[in-house]
Amino acid sequence: MKTLMVFDFDHTVVDDNSDTWVIRCLPSQSLPDSVKKSYRKGYWTEFMGRVMKYIGEQQVSPDSVRSVMEAIPFTAGMTDLLTFISEHKSSIDCIIISDSNTMFIDWILQASGFQAAVDQVFTNPAKFNELGYMEVQCYHSHDCRQCPVNLCKRKVLELYLSEQSGRGVQYEQVFYAGDGGNDLCPTSCLRGHDVVMPREGYTLEKLLAKMEGEEDDCSLRARVIAWSSGTDILKELKASIQL
């Protein structure tokens, strides 16, 4: 029986939003209002497509985008946590479910040497087209009304757990670490002995506190343990595998 560690990425593994960090590759380090004002609530991935098209139109090379992304800071204590996970792969599986994109996350993990810690990344597919512009696609379609149109993290987690079960892999405990509103939905598929870990002071912690205050709401079964650094998560993870 293994332990599963599930991470969000932005403001969890890294201490910023990778989608807004990328703006630093522009000479002005800002977007024009025509792009900024084109965002529609729930359609962030579609918006990022326009952002990356604008970046390409400014003649910013893929290598320049990559070098900027590789400089994004990790959240405090997260490198120690990922090192521990990479050293205990016989006991811990680790996945990332993120509303970022494949290129940003792959670049950041490769530059830091942490690909070995992460078994799978579930995020929006991205690639550079023939013009040298990055194109970002929606991860999947779903019918969840709580989540952004491009990604329901609960659906991803449920499918992963089902597929692992089909391979004979059962998890003694699942830890879910995140920060945002889109991290609430997947907590509903966690069991009573699983742990949801919201980042202190962020949206997920506030939403979970509100849920816990509603006595008739039984959709949250997992224990809630807030974290402020990767060290807090590492402490709980070590305890779960009795190290």
Distances (CA, A) of 185 to 112, 147, 152, 220: 30, 7, 8, 10
pLDDT, one tens digit per residue, over 32-85 is 999 999 999 889 999 999 999 999 999 999 999 999 999 999 999 999 999 999
- The residues, any chain, with a CB within 8 Å of residue 19's CB and separated by 6 or more, are 10, 44, 48, 51, 99, 100, 101, 104
Annotated catalytic residues are: 8, 10
Which fold is adopted by the domain 2-240? Rossmann fold (3.40.50)
Q: Domain segments of the chain: what residues?
A: 2-240
- The residues, any chain, with a CB within 8 Å of residue 51's CB and separated by 6 or more, are 19, 22, 23, 31, 35
The reported pLDDT for the residue numbered 220 is: 87
Paired tokens of 36: 């900024």
Q: pLDDT band for 12, please (50, 70, 90 cuts).
A: very high
pTM: 0.95
What gap in Å lies between CA 72 and CA 230, rounded to an integer? 16
What gap in Å lies between CA 105 and CA 99, rounded to an integer? 10
Paired tokens of 165: 């079960």
pLDDT at 223 > cutoff 90? yes
